């Protein structure tokens, strides 16, 4: 069968032969055995819903074995034989160009070069899934190949519920992931519902089909590192940035350090992913010996080098050894998947990677104890460095939150202690160290409307990406001529980024790009793309963004950690964002429970939009992108964030139909 025919057949009427388990692929760890015997029977029934009754007797023992061996029913035998990657949009079968674009993005999320655990349909973060099983993938692709622009596909946590009549201006796909009743948002609730096949953790851009490989976070990490060095008033040249995690999104850290121009040491316990990142060129050197690491970093500091070094081992040893050797760390962070601490997101010290994986599945109580012991030890080592002047920040991976739950010395001291590094207290837990959003991304970017705008060239052509880079750069340079001083630095950083994008070889998977832009920049860049498509200078472009943005995510310890009016734990903004995007022209929308900080800790939403050069696309992009950003600025303004007040006033001056309620400040002396 051709690729198109395989897509159109969906779940095959004649079952394919079982497939061998490929040991050379990076697989998800075994999930813990959490279901009762009755629940295991229910999980099998749920999985068998996708198949005709004549296949059930053959599949029951196979699916039972998968559940026992891996803790999930992935339906490995249904994995397609064709190569998984984002093909040019013209190669997808279908009646709707918008649906074809979504198929392209789904396959990009599952590309072996992009996905963390491709056979388990997990894109990043250890559990950020596109689908829960391969039957869902096959059925979804079939539906997309059949749908017209008068239909909408509804996705329930990876399950394609079906095609429903709608209209051309409606989203082609509406995605929800993990939207469970709030009282059932504990980690074990996810484990149980995911094992049953009824809910999944879509992370952010994994389950919304908008991941573009590690490039997506490289840009945000580069901005964070640059502004981190600006905050401590020193040049990145010769400065040392120490962090951990090379899987999924965290693999972007060494590349970002190189672009920023510092020395980066990133620890990782998984040898396979470490060597993958090295082979991809995202890391300069791999070192397995602590003595050698000390010598190499000492030399790099002496020579003011720009270099990225992966230490194959536990990050705790790095922090402790650098303290003993008195190696000064300028910036410190952590980007392990601590939103998923009990299932492979963070590994205990003094235990081998293989032993930890076995303990995780077969002795989860002991594994949790070891992880929490490590978090306490990790924190002690960090605290020793910060006393010496290291600037440490939480990278939005729930490090501070999980360390506090482990009773680590991470909370701000009471009774006359110095203020937290953010300089402000929030409602809820107040940590010794800030989230990077509190100190860097929030006040410097999000409050002014700058966030991770991205696009994908659906043609798959290198020349189309180069042309879009040039168009975006031209728009930004034109904007910089008249932009107020408050946003000049943000614009200049992005001009520098886009000019170096080709040279830094950031593309993994689809021909995609990201840059931080405000509402004005996003609308102008998108319109310039649409005009170029209309003139046949480039082909179809797919717009999107990371959920980690101005308006898409309510997350009290990350995206909204610099909200100080007590509304950090509300999720009105994210819900309003997705509802508003839906009727203003998005091609698809998504809303998720869970993200980079954990199940039950965040609500986040995203979108995708197809540009085809039409006047209808121009109208949609202007309406939707303006709302998508200014919804968040208005909420941040109401929280009395000065940058957001400036930004929303400027937006109202430009758009007479916008009228936002502004806050009044109270004289502190009155209290």
Residue 603 pairs in a beta bridge with 554, 593
Residues annotated within the binding site are: 125-126, 203, 268, 395, 596
> Cβ distance 588 to 175 under 8 Å?
yes
Q: What are phi and psi of 581, to 5 degrees?
A: -60, -35
Concatenate the DSSP letters of all residues of 225-274 into one string.
HHHHHHHTT--STT-EEEEE--SGGGGGHHHHHHHHTSEEEEEES-HHHH
Which residue carries 């295991």 as its tokens? 40
> Cβ distance 544 to 206 under 8 Å?
no
Alpha-carbon distance 299 to 293, whole Å? 10
Alpha-carbon distance 553 to 568, whole Å? 11
Alpha-carbon distance 192 to 135, whole Å? 20
Alpha-carbon distance 559 to 606, whole Å? 14
Which residues, 6 or more positions from 655, have their beta carbon under 8 angstroms from its beta carbon? 626
Which residues, 6 or more positions from 523, have their beta carbon under 8 angstroms from its beta carbon? 621, 622, 625, 626
Alpha-carbon distance 145 to 18, whole Å? 26
Alpha-carbon distance 555 to 577, whole Å? 14
User: Which of 459, 547, 473, 546 has the alpha carbon at shortest distance from 511?
Assistant: 459
Alpha-carbon distance 205 to 211, whole Å? 5
Sign of the C-alpha dihedral computed for residues 520, 523, 529 and 535 taken in this order? negative
Alpha-carbon distance 320 to 393, whole Å? 18
3-state SS, residue 458: coil
Residues annotated within the binding site for NAD(+) are: 125-126, 203, 268, 395, 596
Which residue carries 């840009």 as its tokens? 219
> Cβ distance 472 to 667 under 8 Å?
no
Q: Which two three-digit tokens encode residue 52?
A: 């005709």
Q: Measure the CA dihedral 611/613/616/621, to 10°.
A: 40
Alpha-carbon distance 608 to 17, whole Å? 36
Q: Measure the CA dihedral 344/346/348/351, to 10°.
A: 50
């Amino acid at each position: 069968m051709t690729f198109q025919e395989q897509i159109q057949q969906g779940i095959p009427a004649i079952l394919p032969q079982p497939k061998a388990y490929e040991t050379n692929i990076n697989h998800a760890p075994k999930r813990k055995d959490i279901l009762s015997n009755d629940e295991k029977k229910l999980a099998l029934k749920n999985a068998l819903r996708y198949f005709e009754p004549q296949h059930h007797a053959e599949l029951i023992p196979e699916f039972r074995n998968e559940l026992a061996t891996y803790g999930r029913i992935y339906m490995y035998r249904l994995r397609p034989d064709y190569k998984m990657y984002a093909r040019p949009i013209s190669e997808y079968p279908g009646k709707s160009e918008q649906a074809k674009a979504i198929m392209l993005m789904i396959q990009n999320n599952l590309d072996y070069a992009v996905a963390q655990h491709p056979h388990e349909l997990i894109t990043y973060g250890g559990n950020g899934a596109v689908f829960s099983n391969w039957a869902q993938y096959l059925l979804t692709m079939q539906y997309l190949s059949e749908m017209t622009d008068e239909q909408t596909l509804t996705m329930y946590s990876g399950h394609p519920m079906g095609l429903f009549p709608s209209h051309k201006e409606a989203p082609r796909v509406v995605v929800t992931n993990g939207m469970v009743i709030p009282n059932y948002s504990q980690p074990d609730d996810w484990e149980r519902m995911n094992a049953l096949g009824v809910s999944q953790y879509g992370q952010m851009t994994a389950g919304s089909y908008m991941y573009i490989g590690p490039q997506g976070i490289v840009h945000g990490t580069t901005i964070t590192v640059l502004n981190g060095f600006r905050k401590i008033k020193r040049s990145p040249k010769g400065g040392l940035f120490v962090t951990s995690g090379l899987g999924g999104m965290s693999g972007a850290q060494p590349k970002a350090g190189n672009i920023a121009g510092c020395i980066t040491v990133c620890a990782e316990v998984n040898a396979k992913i470490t060597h993958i990142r090295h082979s991809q060129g995202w890391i300069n050197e791999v070192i397995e010996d602590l003595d050698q690491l000390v010598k190499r970093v000492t030399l790099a500091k002496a020579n003011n080098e720009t270099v990225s070094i992966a230490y194959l081992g536990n990050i705790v040893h790095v922090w402790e050894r650098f303290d003993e050797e008195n190696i000064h760390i300028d910036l410190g962070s952590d980007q392990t998947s601590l939103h998923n601490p009990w299932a492979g997101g963070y590994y205990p010290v003094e235990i081998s990677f293989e032993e930890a994986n076995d303990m995780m599945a077969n002795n989860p109580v002991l594994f949790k104890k070891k992880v929490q012991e490590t978090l306490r030890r990790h924190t002690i080592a960090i605290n020793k460095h910060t006393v010496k002047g290291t600037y440490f920040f939480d990278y939005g991976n729930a490090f501070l939150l999980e360390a506090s739950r482990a009773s680590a010395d991470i909370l701000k001291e009471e009774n006359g202690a110095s203020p937290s590094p953010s300089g402000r207290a929030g409602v809820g837990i107040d940590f010794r160290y800030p989230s990077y959003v509190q100190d860097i991304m929030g006040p410097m970017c999000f409050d002014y409307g700058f966030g991770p705008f991205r696009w994908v060239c659906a043609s798959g052509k290198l020349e189309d990406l180069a042309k879009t880079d040039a168009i975006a750069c031209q728009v930004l340079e034109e904007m910089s001529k008249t932009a107020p001083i408050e946003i000049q630095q943000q614009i200049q950083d992005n001009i520098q980024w886009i000019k170096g994008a080709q040279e830094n070889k950031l593309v993994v998977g689809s021909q995609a790009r990201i840059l931080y832009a405000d509402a004005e920049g996003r609308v102008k860049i998108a319109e310039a793309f649409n005009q170029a498509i209309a003139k046949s200078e480039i082909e179809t472009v797919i717009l999107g963004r990371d959920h980690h943005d101005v308006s898409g995510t309510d997350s009290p310890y990350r995206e909204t950690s610099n909200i100080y009016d007590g509304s950090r734990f509300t999720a009105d903004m994210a819900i309003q964002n997705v509802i508003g995007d839906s009727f203003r022209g998005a091609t698809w929308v998504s809303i998720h429970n869970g993200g980079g900080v954990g199940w039950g800790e965040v609500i986040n939403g995203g979108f995708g939009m197809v540009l085809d050069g039409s006047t209808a696309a121009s109208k949609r992009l202007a309406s939707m992108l303006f709302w998508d950003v200014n919804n968040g600025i208005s909420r941040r303004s109401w929280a009395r964030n000065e940058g957001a007040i400036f930004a929303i006033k400027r937006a109202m001056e430009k758009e007479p139909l916008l009228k936002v309620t502004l806050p009044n400040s109270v004289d502190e002396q009155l209290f």
